[in-house]
Amino acid sequence: MSGGSGMGASFDPERIARLRRELADPGAGRTPVPTGDTGSSGPGALKSLWQRAIALTLGFTALLYGVEAVDSVSGGRLEQNGVRPRSGEGLTGILFAPVLHANWGHLLANTLPVLVLGLLTLLTGIGRGLAATAIIWVIAGAGVWLTAMPHTVSVGASGLVFGWLTYLICWGWFSRNVVQIAVGLGVLAVYGSILWGVLPSNPEISWQGHLFGAVGGVVAGWVLSAHERRHRRGADAGRLAS
């Protein structure tokens, strides 16, 4: 029975357990890609991620300004397409409200948070960031439609801003991504004070949009960290089995 060292390697219990885990989860043996999208890591992938994230963020911001310019020329008629609570026609406002603003001052107040938080959200991965935005968009709009005062019209990107904020705070924690936890803590330190906006205060401000936008961000963080949470549970189970 010479060559026993080779046979020993083949029947190593830890190796067999690892192979079983990889068969059960083909991605279990690979290190997750930080961006969640590119399929590869390295300077080239990171540069591409930044370029696409910046382009999309600037493009969305330009869209907001273009819509507000058209709204100003039309005498404010576009903003009437915002969320109208519990009315059939108001449902379409869920789609349009985040790109509409009451006036230039309203848009200017949202611009910097949109640029910063929107960019950081996309830097978690383009596909993941867009999916998070879609979840926040729908939950914020539906929450306003269900709970806002009757005979009101709610518009503005602030629901997205609150959602991006809570998403960035929560996603890193849910996925146990050290870099994203650091980003979330930084975002909390800089923008955390705006979370008071989820409470009723100024009757002219849609706190419902802020509240449900923030809820949407938490939901997005939980849903979109599912792969990382499964991977972590699999790794924990593997350590217990060994």
- Residue 225: burial class (beta carbons within 10 Å; 0-12, 13-18, 19+): buried
- Identify the pLDDT of residue 3: 43
Per-residue pLDDT for 7 more than 90? no
Angle, helices 226-241 vs 158-175, to 10°: value is 10
Tens digit of each residue's pLDDT (9 = 90 or more) over 57-85:
999 999 999 999 999 999 999 999 999 99
Least confident of 1-5, 37-41, 152-156: 1-5
In terms of DSSP H, where are the helices of the chain? Answer: 4-10, 13-24, 43-73, 93-96, 104-122, 126-147, 158-175, 178-191, 207-223, 226-241
**pTM listed for this prediction:** 0.78
**Dist CA 225 CA 231 (whole Å):** 10
Per-residue pLDDT for 38 more than 50? no
Instruction: Report the chain's mean pLDDT, rounded to a whole number.
Output: 84
Residues contacting 89, CB < 8 A, separation 6+: none
Per-residue pLDDT for 90 more than 60? yes
Tens digit of each residue's pLDDT (9 = 90 or more) over 164-202:
999 999 998 998 888 888 999 999 899 988 888 888 877
- Identify the pLDDT of residue 29: 43
- Identify the pLDDT of residue 70: 97
**Dist CA 208 CA 141 (whole Å):** 9
